[in-house]
Chains A and B, each alone.
Chain A
């Protein structure tokens, strides 16, 4: 299925500002965005441009100062903290730059962690964990602790953890930022598989142009505004500049 059939993520006139002392810092300003189901979207921009803030807002980790965010039928920006937590468990998968696996748990237990919050029995959990580990090709390392895995392997465990609950949306914050080229390629391949074969919507923040090249669409942010929308899913070379 080609992306663009229906938007999974809809962001309408989004504002986010922080107050530091008496100074108001505007991080996102009147940002509007739609991400179709099954799209692999890359967010690029200089440090402080608001990429991670936008990612956190879409994933329900933070609440906006103004505007609306919808993910599927859910009005994310109107949810309470506990509703957001519940929604995140089943609907969003996270991939972090530094993997953030729990060091005291094995690869299997790390992947199983989000499933503990869902009404599943042990066998159902086991089936889902093994499927996720198979996808990232790490079943043989499932009893290893993070300290016994390489960076690339840890990130693959992180991807398995992100997709084990079968969420519609996967967000990744610089997933290849801490990896060598080979490992980064492996991770990006898996993310592409998630989009193309499993129809997951992936939003990735990155500074790496090579990683961004693997995305279907690249959005450039500067000072909290979208400055460039580079859509590669349409005709090659076609570029649409969005001035917001």
Chain B
């Protein structure tokens, strides 16, 4: 929180934005070039259908192929469109509009489709990347030679490769960069462990090995490497499953909606016109590729920028179906309230009339205390520093923003963690990404010296992780009771209260049934006579908005000058490229007019070509951003205490729309020029 050094300053955020922008543009250009074959493949997919529809092949193979191609592309596009629409919750919209499906939770259709899709992709992933067996233990003391072999192999694989320039420039040798987290288990080690597991299963591992005395540290190391390899293989499998999901989803998106629109357009407007447009697109490879790249880069970058803005917009927007208030100290930042404030707040909630009072006060109130610390206070690094939200464990899945709507496997993991945390106050849950950075894993213990609660130490056991890709994947949560007990222990040790003992409540969250209840409670809580020091209650969204107010200019810049500038540049590039195309095809357009094509048909042809390229490019950029950026862990940019931003599902419709609109605007002038071409003037000049 402000003043605690945990927030990112505006200057840092601006610097990061520029850096992120440059990286995004570079990534977008590379991704655009790499996806060019997919773009032409997607066009070819449609062309195949048009070919099949016109094919008069009566020879065996040609006939079978054309019959297959007549049916398969549209049938697959319909299937892919229905599946992707279902996956992204389009079929739950009626329920949302009627209020039967709550705004922030997946609806029944989405859950069903997602469940089936996830199960299917999991099965593929499990077959494609089988992990090391998870249920085999090895007694290294019974096979010390193998333990020694494993440790030697590990050391050999971890040795840095020789510097090729060391002999030439011995004085310029730099130390290798410090890795972020421990190095991954080498493939050779994983493979050797796989052999040991197979041997342990059939009993041959312990046969004929030496029983000589061996250093215990070797046994411990072997055990550590073994456990890491086994767990990492499981984690790798999960990553593989995520990748497979992203690839299949990407293919469904590319071959689903846009081709379906083209097929339907061909049915409605006539196939020949669409074929003519598509072949015009394909024949001018350089021009089409340039338009594609321009639109791709724009939509990719906008997609990423607007993902940040849309997240900020969502959290600063009042959510009436899940109305939460935040109580903080009124006149001081950071807010440091007395623990006794909690009971006063509860009493004030109880005073609310029945229609405004939550049914169960305990279930609708949560406190946060911020505990920052380091695993190595003498040598603090970003890797060994960690920041905890101390709260009531049972509130994790009831009130924690972003965790309330978890489902399936992720939800059960957090549910189990909550049970353990309730029983064992030292149990903590840490985000998967943060664990990776720290080189820790579930099951590890760690000792943390608090930096803000001076002279207080915690001995944690990690019982679960927040899923990778969630809002909490770099955060950590501990039991509030543990903090209170340690503060009591400090008092017992030193004979005096800890300086922060009466200031150890930073926030109180309250969920209320309606805005009237919020207003009533706000009046009570904001009464200066009720609390000392005085406190205030804000709605969650306005609390976030106030907290993010220093970034207002940055957000404004991202939303308006930057986005509009990018749109303008792309429209200009598209206009130039399409304009060149029209000028090159002036005679062809004149021929079409001579043959009886009306000017509006020519206009439609130019606009249609631009729209198809724009929409397909926009869609590919969005699908690439959605699949790749999210699968790779989101956009890393520190704004306040938000570190990662993910491309939202909504982008899948507004991305193509931006692409289509920018190409369409870019094609307006060229299409007007095509509309006005006079055949007589063109041919008079030619002859």
The binding surface of chain B is classed by DSSP as helix
Partner of B283, one of A82, A104, A112: A104
**Cβ contact within 8 Å between B683 and A96:** yes
By a CB distance below 8 angstroms, the chain B residues around A61 are 594, 679-680, 683
Residues of chain B from 281 to 305 with CB closer than 8 A to chain A in the complex = 282-283
Partner of B272, one of A56, A88, A103, A109: A109
**Cβ contact within 8 Å between A52 and B280:** no
B397 at interface, CB cutoff 8 A: no
Chain A residue with Cβ nearest B272: A116
Partner of A173, one of B275, B592, B593, B687: B687
Contact with A along B587-622 (1 / 0, CB 8 A): 110011111111100000000000000000000000
Partner of A62, one of B273, B279, B680: B680
Residues of chain B from 24 to 72 with CB closer than 8 A to chain A in the complex = none
A236 at interface, CB cutoff 8 A: no
B686 at interface, CB cutoff 8 A: yes
B684 at interface, CB cutoff 8 A: yes
**Cβ contact within 8 Å between A81 and B596:** no
B499 at interface, CB cutoff 8 A: no
> What's the A-B contact tally at a CB cutoff of 8 Å?
73
How many residues from A make CB contacts under 8 Å with B? 32
**Cβ contact within 8 Å between B598 and A102:** no
B276 at interface, CB cutoff 8 A: yes
**Cβ contact within 8 Å between B588 and A116:** no
Chain A residue with Cβ nearest B273: A116
By a CB distance below 8 angstroms, the chain B residues around A98 are 686
A89 at interface, CB cutoff 8 A: yes
By a CB distance below 8 angstroms, the chain A residues around B678 are 62
Partner of B596, one of A56, A88, A109: A88
Distance, CA A112 to CA B275, complexed state (A)? 13
Distance, CA A109 to CA B595, complexed state (A)? 13
**Cβ contact within 8 Å between A88 and B594:** yes
A155 at interface, CB cutoff 8 A: no
**Cβ contact within 8 Å between B591 and A102:** yes
Distance, CA A85 to CA B601, complexed state (A)? 11
Distance, CA A114 to CA B596, complexed state (A)? 7
Contact with A along B65-108 (1 / 0, CB 8 A): 00000000000000000000000000000000000000000000
Interface size class, chain B = 20 to 34
Partner of A102, one of B276, B594, B679: B276
Chain A residue with Cβ nearest B686: A98
Interface centre among B598, B680, B687 (most CB of A within 10 A): B687
Contact with A along B646-687 (1 / 0, CB 8 A): 000000000000000000000000000000001110011011
Nearest chain B CB to A228's CB is how many angstroms away? 21
Chain A residue with Cβ nearest B684: A52
**Cβ contact within 8 Å between A114 and B680:** no
Distance, CA A61 to CA B686, complexed state (A)? 15
A244 at interface, CB cutoff 8 A: no
A113 at interface, CB cutoff 8 A: yes
Partner of A114, one of B595, B599, B686: B595
A53 at interface, CB cutoff 8 A: yes
B270 at interface, CB cutoff 8 A: yes
Contact status of A100 and B272, CB under 8 A, knowing A56-B680, A56-B683, A117-B596 = no
By a CB distance below 8 angstroms, the chain A residues around B594 are 59, 61, 88, 94
Nearest chain B CB to A217's CB is how many angstroms away? 21
A86 at interface, CB cutoff 8 A: yes
Distance, CA A239 to CA B272, complexed state (A)? 50
**Cβ contact within 8 Å between A82 and B272:** no
By a CB distance below 8 angstroms, the chain B residues around A94 are 594-595
By a CB distance below 8 angstroms, the chain A residues around B599 are 81, 85
**Cβ contact within 8 Å between A85 and B597:** yes
Contact status of A113 and B683, CB under 8 A, knowing A100-B591, A103-B283 = no
Distance, CA A114 to CA B276, complexed state (A)? 13
A105 at interface, CB cutoff 8 A: yes
Nearest chain B CB to A101's CB is how many angstroms away? 8
**Cβ contact within 8 Å between A53 and B588:** no
A205 at interface, CB cutoff 8 A: yes
Distance, CA A103 to CA B279, complexed state (A)? 9
Distance, CA A100 to CA B275, complexed state (A)? 18
By a CB distance below 8 angstroms, the chain B residues around A89 are 595-596
Nearest chain A CB to B158's CB is how many angstroms away? 59
**Cβ contact within 8 Å between B596 and A86:** yes
Distance, CA A49 to CA B680, complexed state (A)? 16
Chain B residue with Cβ nearest A104: B279
**Cβ contact within 8 Å between A113 and B272:** yes
**Cβ contact within 8 Å between A104 and B683:** no
A97 at interface, CB cutoff 8 A: yes
By a CB distance below 8 angstroms, the chain A residues around B597 are 85, 117
A37 at interface, CB cutoff 8 A: no
Contact with A along B253-276 (1 / 0, CB 8 A): 000000000000000001011011
A-B contact list, 16 entries, CB within 8 Å: A53-B680, A61-B594, A61-B680, A61-B683, A62-B680, A85-B593, A90-B596, A100-B591, A104-B283, A109-B275, A112-B272, A113-B592, A113-B595, A116-B270, A117-B597, A174-B687
Interface residues of B (CB under 8 A from A): 270, 272-273, 275-276, 279-280, 282-283, 587-588, 591-599, 678-680, 683-684, 686-687
Give me the 9 closest cross-chain CB pairs, A-B, nearest first. Answer: A89-B596, A104-B279, A62-B680, A61-B680, A56-B680, A100-B591, A114-B595, A88-B596, A52-B687
Besides the known contacts A53-B684, A56-B680, A89-B595, 13 further A-B residue pairs in the complex with CB atoms under 8 A apart: A52-B683, A52-B684, A61-B594, A97-B686, A102-B276, A103-B283, A104-B276, A109-B272, A113-B272, A113-B595, A116-B272, A117-B597, A173-B683
